[in-house]
Amino acid sequence: MKTLEIKKLAEKSFTNENLDIKKIKKITPLLGRKQLKVYIKFLKKLENIRTVWVFTPINNIEKEIIDKLKSMFPRKRIEYITDSSLIAGLRIIDNDMVYELNLKDSLDGLITYLKRSYD
């Protein structure tokens, strides 16, 4: 089976934006060891595309923010992770895009900027 066909199979393994266990059980016996590796890789990638990771320094996020994030990323699963090193603000990872809206990143940027200015 060619990589492109495995990719298509991985795409078809989802029902309503969630992995469908029945479909997966049907697909996996058809694949060899190497092909299975490729299949898992594609599943991970697709899963990644369908998930948005939100890093916050606090545990309880206001409902207002949650609603706003949901409207920003419709049809995507939003996972919340606590990261106290951010100090304040958010870090949002959507597939291969990272949005830095936190104090830590601003301070890091400031340090780099000043370092370059006074080198």
Partner 1 sequence: MIKNEDIIKELEKNLMTFSQDARTKNVGVVEKNSDGVVIASGLSQAFMGEEVEFENGEKGVILNLDEDYVSIILFGGGEKITETDKVKTSGKILSITVSEKLIGRVVSPLGDPLDGKPGIRIGKSMPLEKIAAGVIEREPVNTPLKTGVKLIDAIIPIGRGQRELIIGDRGLGKTAIAIDTIINQKPEKNSRLKPVICIYVAIGQKQSTVAQVIEKLKEVGAMDYTIVVCATAADPAALQYLAPYAGVAIAEYFMDKGEDILVVYDDLTKHAWAYRQISLVLRRPAGREAYPGDIFYLHSRLLERAVKLNKEFGGGSITALPIVETQANDISAYIPTNIISITDGQIYLQSDLFNAGIRPAINIGNSVSRVGGAAQTPAIKSAAGKMRLELAQYRELAVFAQFGSELDQATLSQLERGKRVTEILKQPQYQPLPESLQVLSIWAVTNGFLDDIGVESIGKFESEYHNFIKSNHPEIIKNLSLGEKPTEDTIKKMRVITEEFKKIFSK
Binding residues (CB under 8 A) for partner 1: these are 45, 93, 95-101, 105-106, 109-110, 113-114, 116-117, 119
Of 81 and 98, the one with the shorter C-beta distance to partner 1 is 98
Instruction: Report the candidate in 57, 61, 62, 54 with the shortest Cα–Cα distance to residue 89.
Output: 57
Residues 6+ apart with CB under 8 A from 91: 54, 55, 83, 98, 99, 100, 101, 102, 105
Of 3 and 15, the one with the shorter C-beta distance to partner 1 is 3
Contact in structure between 101 and 88 (CB atoms under 8 Å): no
Of 31 and 93, the one with the shorter C-beta distance to partner 1 is 93
CB of 7 to partner 1, least distance (A): 9
CB of 28 to partner 1, least distance (A): 22
